[in-house]
Structure 1
């Protein structure tokens, strides 16, 4: 039974106030009608107005604001019940008049309070009984016991009360179910991890959840148009596309927060129709993908930009260049490569080198137009795309301006450093790859011409580039095809004309082009990396040939030159050891020649490799001494060395120029002090040989003694003539080598 009893929860204040005002209006209507009705029933006008006195009194009490809700509700209830009692009296107890009580009891149910029903039952019983006992005709139109009929009327009112209570409870059940459903929806709506908006067909937000408010920063999104959430530039397009189709796919859209910052939502839309099947509203669910978008943008930036300088990388530059060429207009591609950057990088450290690259990028960018594109392809190589040019001259002026800004001093490690760059320009509207290749070729030509230059690509460069490609392709087949061979040039003791050693020199006879100069193919081999396998072949071949000669009684040192790329290889010591083991040549009979520039490519790596070679017992020589960096501070880290070779450029002027004579004398003196052997290269005359002998130079090599010869001609007596005559100078001392190392010659 308790389940049928209403909970009787207090109404919200605004609901109670509205219902209370409505019941007071009903009371006012009764106060106006009752006197008029009483007059129609034969009552005098003064008596008729007396019927309004009790309900008016209680009605006035119900209007007092400072009284509690209970008191005011009770006063209004009594006032309305008084109206029912007045109607019964005014109608002389007519049975139909009693029906008014049922109307008032139903009206009082609006308060949804128990006491209004109890008040009504008590009022009916007391009023009927008391008035009936005093004057029955005013309440009843028959002669029965007044209290009996008061009880009967009270029972009917009680039955009405029970009916009202049951109805009330059922209404409560429905309301509770609706509230529970509303609460579930509210929780699901407000606590959803995604932003949700209920949007009208006109695009106005009807309701937004907590996530929407927090993400957008709008405390009250209700009333805003849905496109108010997107940036201003996107609003017109979104408004024109509203409403979305019922089966619209997910859409990624930017949204603008209340503070002006921008994020990203992934929106899903669902149409909710009304009973007639018309669009009632849309449910829009937005997943915030701002972090994902930022990650994607960051990854895209990393994939298309250089991490150090933040400039576009090659991938990005290629895409921009291809788009520029679609229009069919001429563009300029400029390759810029810093000169001798590796020297700075190795001497001052990679951190300083990185700082230099960043400043270079900043200087170059500052000189460009907003639409020009500057990229870094890696290392010290920068590439520039220029559009909307008047011609190649404008591209030249831009390159000159960039070269000038790079010539200004850089402050590195607390000191001013100076830098230059070599530039190559390609101009046209052809294939993107071809433009890049041509600009690259022009830049390398500028390097070859002495660096710090600007070259524009033309057909002659194209021909040289094609020749280079042809040579590189031929080199890849030369070893297997037996096109490479070694020639050997004697190294002669100046004191007695005896054979000191043989320098192994590489030669290539191409099946189509014939003999190709080492000055042509050696640089290509170095640039392409083919110098490593070729150098290994040279080393093994020279060792085998020297071992064969030694087996036939010829005891001398075989000299083989190492390229910078070989010297940087951590496997060089193993390759040398394998060549010695396979040939049976003693380590002391092998001299590996290393240029100063090769050492400076990577001094630390060079020292590690040279220590490993020293451990094998081979001899080491510094080739072309005085031509490279001539750094005695670097030289001391490489000691002890066995041989110092004097470059041909100094030997050429030894008999004519005092400067060259002094330089050679100084080198020979230094060599003696280091306990090494001095070898002069490029000796072509007897006068040069005599001058070197007079300076106490130990060994000489050059055309004066013999041209480079193939192996089968080397020990023919007619091929080697000595210019070392004891009559020209006293016997020279031949110092014991300070170590057992030495290098190899790939070219003459």
Structure 2
């Protein structure tokens, strides 16, 4: 036995120590990890241990027979087989670890695709290596193994590890640490392959050099894995890079094959197998890619259909949206299919959002969508156009559309149950049919016009489109446009309707009425432009103008010595504005009007909106000294309990209670005709400490009835319609004798406390109408308005 040279032993010992240290480092790193990282690092530690065992076996076999074995004799084939098997198992463990990197094995299909990509690259590397190390190239010359079967597994493992590491590195982010790790593991496998090949050939130099390469590669891999963060995150890209990964290996194989043939080389079974594996792997990989692309295309088509449905569907109700309705309209119009369009709008839905919140509003809209779906015929299309506006496309003619509209009017008007109480709404419906050539936009406009007309005519109704709606719309648009500059152009005037003391019919007050004369439109009725002013937000501006004009005229009358008050109508929108109280106080101060001479009239409909807020506003207004009148009493929603809470001074009986009920003459007594409803309201007002004014008195019979009921003030056509200020002033002049007219100085001292004190001591003055008539000249209207 020949003792090896010390230098060979030193190289072997250093290689073994380095490999052992690297294996220990991998083991320690694995123990520090937790969760899945710990399992994968244990796999790497096992791979390192297998590489270390293979290295030690190869070194022991080589050093133990140094100098006694003839190169190529095949005496170390058994040890070479063990080294090759250990190297192969180590490489397979590394391949499994690469496939378990984050993102690499998200699904089974992803793992298979990645493995096939590695196999394609490995086949190309193996084939190129076979060309380089076989006849006639023989890259290592005489040291090149010939017919050494044990190294076959090692060559396959080395090529597989290198190919898969290359693919994973190219697809990973970041790449630097993983690339270094891949080089290290490839060096480990190449080292094991070289040790096995050296044992087959009996080449000491090849064995020791390969052992050193294995040890260094194992140390590099261990150092990379000892870091805190994972070496990389694999990103699978099935479209952009698959072509590159397929072309590069095929180009390498084709180049090496042409080189081999140019050197008069021959292809044996191993070369053919390598080429076949490459081809089958590429075919399998492209098949998977094609299947993936088909799957992607199918999912893309599904998503496109889903997004198209979303683009044509309202997400809240599940009905079609405006785009979806337009698509159906264009389709039906193109087919010549008979159809009718219904436009629907929920009446009072804004109040639901304001008072109950948008969550309740959304729940109501979703319920509207469900009711529409449940009550339409197959083939009809329901759509939500936005907000609380809906549309229904009816398949058929006017008869079918009328039946559907009547059913929807009933169904949508039923209560909507909510956790905090039911919601009551009604619906307005406009109906339009195509006329002449099919025009989708024109049909939509006609349905919208019919809907707006239904809203204007009282809501909760169905209206068919009529060509006259176009004229009404143009008129409405013109009126709204011209109204915005009416104040600046000095087109507005105030008319004053007198309020008479009964039974003397002497004018003691007046209601300021707004009038508008346009140079082209002529006289525009208040019931036409005032609702428009409320809708377009101009009512506050008009109300402020009316307030100042009325106070200005009242101050002139008072300065001239006329004993009169003026009432001004207040819209609910003005009344709920926080700044309205300040506006009233400033108007009184600017025109030097005693507050008790100004009466603010609130309609009974305003009581139905928000009673608590209304009470707060009216209380604040009364603190300024003005008086509050509840207008149109008997035609709205107020109750006895609300009257007791409302801070008001005057009740104005609605003209329907005076004019629409024929006065009767009691059988058990003689006297003038008797109006029962007026009598009831009078008694109610006196019990609550309120003065009562009868509106709508149009003839002597009604006058006699309200006087008999005890009403001391009246207003209506019998006493005069709204007249200009100078006409009312003439009426005041005619009704007041020069001796009884109060001086301006006396008017300035007239205050509410003095009037109330006087009223408290003068109850006998209102005992009979005759007494009032006897002292007509000395009547103080402010005192009369406060006596009950």
Q: 1:443 to 1:540 in 2, by over 3 A?
A: same
1:446 aligns with 454
Indicate conservation of the 8 Å contact 1:311/1:376, yes or no.
Answer: no
Residue deviations 1:304-328, cap 9 Å, x none?
Answer: 9888x4457xxx8443344445555
2:589 matched to 1:581? Answer: yes
Runs of 5+ consecutive residues of structure 2 not aligned to the other structure: 1-6, 21-52, 84-198, 247-283, 666-672, 737-765, 774-778
SS at 1:477 equivalent: coil
**1:74-93 map, 5 Å:** none
2:515 aligns with 507
Given the alignment, which residue of 640, 659, 674 partners 2:688?
674
2:430 aligns with 424
**Total equivalences in the alignment:** 540
SS at 1:103 equivalent: coil
Residue deviations 1:307-359, cap 9 Å, x none?
Answer: 8x4457xxx84433444455554865433233456787899888766654443
2:712 aligns with 698
- Please give the alpha-carbon distance, in whole angstroms, between the structure 1 residues aligned to 2:628 and 2:484: 29
Q: 1:71 to 1:317 in 2, by over 3 A?
A: closer
Given the alignment, which residue of 688, 696, 700 partners 2:702?
688
Q: 1:720 to 1:433 in 2, by over 3 A?
A: farther
1:335 aligns with 343
Indicate conservation of the 8 Å contact 1:706/1:721, yes or no.
Answer: no
SS at 2:729 equivalent: coil
Following superposition, the deviation at residue 637 of structure 1 comes to 2.9
Indicate conservation of the 8 Å contact 2:325/2:383, yes or no.
Answer: no
SS at 1:593 equivalent: strand
Indicate conservation of the 8 Å contact 1:335/1:440, yes or no.
Answer: yes
Indicate conservation of the 8 Å contact 2:508/2:565, yes or no.
Answer: yes
Given the alignment, which residue of 354, 376, 389 partners 1:382?
389
Residue deviations 1:168-224, cap 9 Å, x none?
Answer: 3355368659x849988x9999841744569865999xxxxxxxxxxxxxxxx9998
Following superposition, the deviation at residue 401 of structure 1 comes to 2.8
TM-score w.r.t. structure 2 length?
0.58
- Please give the alpha-carbon distance, in whole angstroms, between the structure 2 residues aligned to 1:471 and 1:690: 42
TM-score w.r.t. structure 1 length?
0.60
**1:211-610 map, 5 Å:** 225-226=288-289, 228=291, 232=295, 234-235=297-298, 309-310=316-317, 317-324=321-328, 327=331, 328-329=333-334, 332-339=340-347, 355-368=363-376, 369=378, 372-375=381-384, 377-378=386-387, 381-386=388-393, 389-408=395-414, 410-411=416-417, 420-428=426-434, 435-610=443-618
Residue deviations 1:112-140, cap 9 Å, x none?
Answer: 87xxxxxxxxxxxxxxxxxxxxxxxxxxx
2:80 aligns with 110
Which entry has the higher C-alpha Rg, 1 or 2?
Answer: 1
Higher helix share: 2
Q: 1:69 to 1:357 in 2, by over 3 A?
A: closer
Indicate conservation of the 8 Å contact 1:645/1:679, yes or no.
Answer: yes
Residue deviations 1:506-558, cap 9 Å, x none?
Answer: 11111113222222222222222222211111111101110111111112221
Residue deviations 1:71-125, cap 9 Å, x none?
Answer: 99999999x99xxx9xxxxxxxxxxxx9856533565662587xxxxxxxxxxxx
Indicate conservation of the 8 Å contact 1:675/1:738, yes or no.
Answer: no
SS at 1:580 equivalent: helix
Q: 1:161 to 1:705 in 2, by over 3 A?
A: closer
Following superposition, the deviation at residue 645 of structure 1 comes to 0.2
- Please give the alpha-carbon distance, in whole angstroms, between the structure 2 residues aligned to 1:332 and 1:181: 79
**1:605-684 map, 5 Å:** 605-638=613-646, 640-656=647-663, 661-684=675-698
Q: 1:487 to 1:643 in 2, by over 3 A?
A: same
Q: 1:326 to 1:190 in 2, by over 3 A?
A: farther
- Please give the alpha-carbon distance, in whole angstroms, between the structure 1 residues aligned to 2:445 and 2:55: 95
Residue deviations 1:694-722, cap 9 Å, x none?
Answer: 11112101221222111122121499779
Indicate conservation of the 8 Å contact 1:495/1:726, yes or no.
Answer: no
2:737 matched to 1:731? Answer: no
Runs of 5+ consecutive residues of structure 1 not aligned to the other structure: 11-67, 86-97, 114-156, 205-220, 236-252, 256-261, 265-293, 741-748
Residue deviations 1:629-674, cap 9 Å, x none?
Answer: 1323333331x31110011111114544689922111111111111
RMSD: 5.1
